[in-house]
Structure 1
Amino acid sequence: MAVSSGFSPWLILLVVSASILVVALAIASYRFWNQARQRSASLEELNNTLNYHLEQERALRYINERFLEFSRDILCSISADGTFLQISPACLTILGYSPEELQGQPYRQLLVPEDRASTEDEMARLISGEHDKAIEFRARLNHRNGQVITIAWIAEWSPEDQILFCVGRDISNELVAEILTQEREQFFSLSPDMFCIIDLNSYFFELNAHFVDTLGYTRDELLGTSYLDLIHEDDREAVQEAVWALGEGAEIKDLEVRILNRQGGIHWVDINAILSADDLIYVVARDTTALRKAMEQLEETMKELERSNRELQDFAFVASHDLQEPLRKIQAFSDRLIARSEDLGEREKDYLRRMQSAAGRMQALIEDLLSYSRVTTRAKPMVACNTNEILSEVLVDMETSIGRAQGKVDAETLPATWGDAMQLRQVLQNLLSNAIKFHAPDRPPVVQVRAEDITNDAWTLVVSDNGIGFDERYAEKLFHPFQRLHQKEGYPGTGIGMAIVKKILDRHGASVSLNSQPGTGTTFRIRLRTGQGAA
């Protein structure tokens, strides 16, 4: 049998199949390699992205930590049961506790007892969703040293995290400033003076209610306007000079200017002002319009008084000369007639005696009127007076009348007095004269002079007698001119002596009171000023 020299069909088929398999494997391998490469690239990209976000998260966490570390406010998170989960270091500065001391502790223990219920109520509203956020919620917390700190909170509940996130700001100093501001504004508004604040450009910055009410404006009408518009044109230069002086460091005191109200009327005001460190001028003005009118009227209740005094002086001159001269002639001629009365009948002699008595009473009345007028016209300045010396001089002058009545005056040592010595002597003279004159016929007069209720500023002069007394219902009548409480028979006088006493005491600013009963005597109490520097 012969051997074939070519390949068998099976062999060829096998080789072809193997080649196809190799190609298929190569193609599959390429595809797997390409997919692996693409997957590797995706994984690398995903890894880079993940690293980026991790880096961002680390940076954000670092920033948050720095915020917590450097924030002056308290930043904290609180669980639903009221426990601090995290708190910033500001708690050490504000409350005196470190974050480590507060974390895991209930916030309630820091609250003052009075604020616990309201704070817990607000937290419950936030957790329940009744409130979305708490803004400027105030609560007072106890500092470690016992001081009470007021915190204003901003808080929001996170349903996802079941955590309350809070920011707390210490407003203790602001609260004090707020209270002071309220008190200042209250004082500012209630003060009876006119207050305003102006700037160096002449504009009103602030005014109180009394300022605008006095001038008839509203507050809004004046704010931002120039105060110079209210100053009387004749006073503007003086005001501008005063403002310039303020800028040089001076103060304005008692500057009198005229300002105009809404109707154009003039108000006189007395101004004090200072320039503050913030270049604002603080002004206090007092409306002196009514006072000026009163002073003008007083200057006129004074000119009239001077005129009246001049008339009184003229009357006194006439009374002391012109009126008494005819009386002296009547008395002189009646004396001559009485000296030759042997040729006259009893009726004519009685007429002469009555004429002399009437002339004598008229002369006494004129002299008393002169004394009454001289309380004003011959008044001397007030000085320190030795009351004991004045009393001694009066007793010497009254020695004869006291002896004639067989009377007695018991005087204790008296304090010094501030007043007009001549007029005080007249007061003592009149009081003692009345005490001696108005004594009971069956007993001699006894008068006591003493001091009581002595203080640094004043003392009371007491003059008591055992005389006939009078009904106190008529006490006021005693001090009126020409008023008498007893019949002229047996007790001569013009009825003007006590009116002179009252007028003198009024000039001295001294009060007088009395106690009396018919038949039991009278006691006068006069409140006098203590003498300054007198022995």
Structure 2
Amino acid sequence: MGHNIQNSTDEARKKVLREFENLNMALFHNHPDAIYMLDLEGRFLMVNEVVCQVSGVGRELLLGSSFEPLIHLKYRASTIESFEMAIRESPQRYETAVITPEGIKYLDVTNFPFRSGDQVLAVFGIAKDITEKRQKEVELREQKALLEVVHEEVEIFRKVIAHDLRKPVANALGFARLLKEGVLAADEETEAKCLLLGTVEALDTMVRDLNKVMALRSKGEMAQEKVEVLKAVSELLISFESEINNIKASISVHVDPGLHLLTVKAYFYSILRNLIANALKYHAQGHLPEITIKAWPREGSKLAISVGDNGIGMDMEAVADRLFKMHTRFAPHMAEGSGLGLYIVNQQVKLLNGTVTVSSEPGIGSEFTVCLPLN
């Protein structure tokens, strides 16, 4: 009787074990994630169908082969290290990437040792495909970066309105007051009317260009257009005609008539406007101001344009670290200003993927060189 009871108990235990094993195999084969077992050399002993789907490799090729060739080179060393730590120490969770016929797939992997007593026989692993999650994270980072650029451009736009538009508005007001007061001779009145018209036209162009930049930027586009460099320089020099005449400045322009670039016109004009304004503003007393404007193509599809002067100059060792800081002025005794000009120049050059360099010596003069992509 006791023997029959023992046999019945053994059969029941075996039945439970078989059912447990069947349940495990059902979970193994039907789990939504990739499940596998590796020997201690990293060769596949078992894989479910999801492993084949994720890797793009059939079961026959996977079994007996190492996992290492599947891993993206960037992640291979850290993945091997995590596999070895799972053998020596404890379960490991990490991210890796595999190379598949469909491209790179990113995985969230958990490896843990499969033991018999104290001996590790194999490594059991579960890998979850997180490629879609990673792509969304990348998209979010890109959108965040774009928003930061747009925010920066809006801030520059605000500062341009506050800084760059101030001069033409002040000029227009000055000419209008002179005309209203009726103190000008006939020829002077005619000249003042021409200057007023030119100033208002330049102001209108600036406003329309800036409006175009912001309208396109709100759609995620760049307001790029073909800009003829010599034409830009000529138009800007006309807007500074009264300042040039007042200080009797000599202007030399060395620009090839055919030189042009594809860029954001409003930014390009603003950069040149500020550099020319500074060259005129910070002229040295005792000799006539000389300003040289040059432009030339550079290697790597770049355009270089420089504005040099023989003005008061700067001690570069003393000012280099704050030259392009906001609200920084280096010679307030020379002229009024907000200290925004060079800050705006630097920010706009960055937005155009360019660089700006400066060479200057006290009493000798300064030269600002801007390098921008031709396209």
Aligned to 1:253: 102
1:482 maps onto 2:327 in alignment: yes
Deviation at residue 482 of structure 1 after TM alignment: 0.6
1:199 maps onto 2:58 in alignment: yes
Structure 1 residues 396 and 214, CA, compared in 2 at 3 Å: closer, same or farther?
A: same
Name which of 345, 363, 372 aligns with 1:519.
363
Checking the alignment, whether the CA contact within 8 Å between 1:385 and 1:421 is kept in structure 2 is yes
- For residues 304 and 461 of structure 1, what CA distance do their matches in structure 2 show? 28
Deviation at residue 530 of structure 1 after TM alignment: 2.2
Name which of 116, 121, 130 aligns with 1:268.
130
Q: Which amino acid aligns with 2:281?
A: K
Aligned to 1:242: none
The TM-score with structure 2 as length reference comes to: 0.52
Greater relative contact order (CA < 8 Å, ≥ 6 in sequence):
2
Aligned to 1:387: 229
Deviation at residue 462 of structure 1 after TM alignment: 2.0
Deviation at residue 265 of structure 1 after TM alignment: 6.2
Aligned to 2:243: 401
- For residues 521 and 451 of structure 1, what CA distance do their matches in structure 2 show? 19
Structure 1 residues 520 and 430, CA, compared in 2 at 3 Å: closer, same or farther?
A: same
Deviation at residue 297 of structure 1 after TM alignment: 3.6
Give 3-state SS (helix, strand or coil) of 1:500's partner. helix
Name which of 253, 258, 263 aligns with 1:419.
263
Give 3-state SS (helix, strand or coil) of 2:339's partner. coil
- For residues 370 and 355 of structure 2, what CA distance do their matches in structure 1 show? 6
Deviation at residue 309 of structure 1 after TM alignment: 6.7
Checking the alignment, whether the CA contact within 8 Å between 1:430 and 1:497 is kept in structure 2 is yes
Deviations 1:280-325 (A, max 9, x none): xxxxxxxx94x7645434434445666x579959x959x98xxx9x
CA RMSD, aligned part only?
4.3
Deviation at residue 410 of structure 1 after TM alignment: 0.7
Q: Which amino acid aligns with 2:359?
A: N
Give 3-state SS (helix, strand or coil) of 2:305's partner. strand
- For residues 388 and 204 of structure 1, what CA distance do their matches in structure 2 show? 70
State how many pairs are aligned: 237
- For residues 375 and 296 of structure 1, what CA distance do their matches in structure 2 show? 27
Deviations 1:228-269 (A, max 9, x none): xxxxxxxxxxxxxxxxxxxxxxx9434757564437564535
Checking the alignment, whether the CA contact within 8 Å between 1:466 and 1:520 is kept in structure 2 is yes
Deviation at residue 507 of structure 1 after TM alignment: 0.4
Checking the alignment, whether the CA contact within 8 Å between 2:226 and 2:260 is kept in structure 1 is yes
Checking the alignment, whether the CA contact within 8 Å between 2:107 and 2:127 is kept in structure 1 is no
Checking the alignment, whether the CA contact within 8 Å between 1:375 and 1:500 is kept in structure 2 is no
- For residues 471 and 436 of structure 1, what CA distance do their matches in structure 2 show? 19
Checking the alignment, whether the CA contact within 8 Å between 2:56 and 2:101 is kept in structure 1 is no
- For residues 148 and 356 of structure 2, what CA distance do their matches in structure 1 show? 28
The TM-score with structure 1 as length reference comes to: 0.38
Checking the alignment, whether the CA contact within 8 Å between 1:481 and 1:496 is kept in structure 2 is yes
Structure 1 residues 207 and 411, CA, compared in 2 at 3 Å: closer, same or farther?
A: farther
- For residues 310 and 511 of structure 1, what CA distance do their matches in structure 2 show? 17
Larger radius of gyration: 1
| Structure 1 unaligned spans of 5+ | 1-194, 222-250, 271-287, 325-334, 336-369
Structural mapping, 1:309-324, within 5 Å:
none
Structure 1 residues 252 and 504, CA, compared in 2 at 3 Å: closer, same or farther?
A: same
Deviation at residue 209 of structure 1 after TM alignment: 2.5
- For residues 477 and 375 of structure 1, what CA distance do their matches in structure 2 show? 32
Deviations 1:69-99 (A, max 9, x none): xxxxxxxxxxxxxxxxxxxxxxxxxxxxxxx
- For residues 266 and 213 of structure 2, what CA distance do their matches in structure 1 show? 12
Structure 1 residues 253 and 462, CA, compared in 2 at 3 Å: closer, same or farther?
A: same
1:447 maps onto 2:291 in alignment: yes
Name which of 68, 87, 112 aligns with 1:209.
68
- For residues 59 and 346 of structure 2, what CA distance do their matches in structure 1 show? 59
- For residues 300 and 506 of structure 1, what CA distance do their matches in structure 2 show? 18
- For residues 212 and 331 of structure 2, what CA distance do their matches in structure 1 show? 25
Give 3-state SS (helix, strand or coil) of 1:479's partner. coil
Checking the alignment, whether the CA contact within 8 Å between 1:505 and 1:511 is kept in structure 2 is yes
Structure 1 residues 388 and 298, CA, compared in 2 at 3 Å: closer, same or farther?
A: same
Q: Which amino acid aligns with 1:198?
A: V
- For residues 212 and 357 of structure 2, what CA distance do their matches in structure 1 show? 20
Deviation at residue 497 of structure 1 after TM alignment: 0.8
Q: Which amino acid aligns with 2:350?
A: D
Q: Which amino acid aligns with 2:130?
A: W
Identity %: 17
Q: Which amino acid aligns with 1:480?
A: K
Give 3-state SS (helix, strand or coil) of 1:475's partner. helix
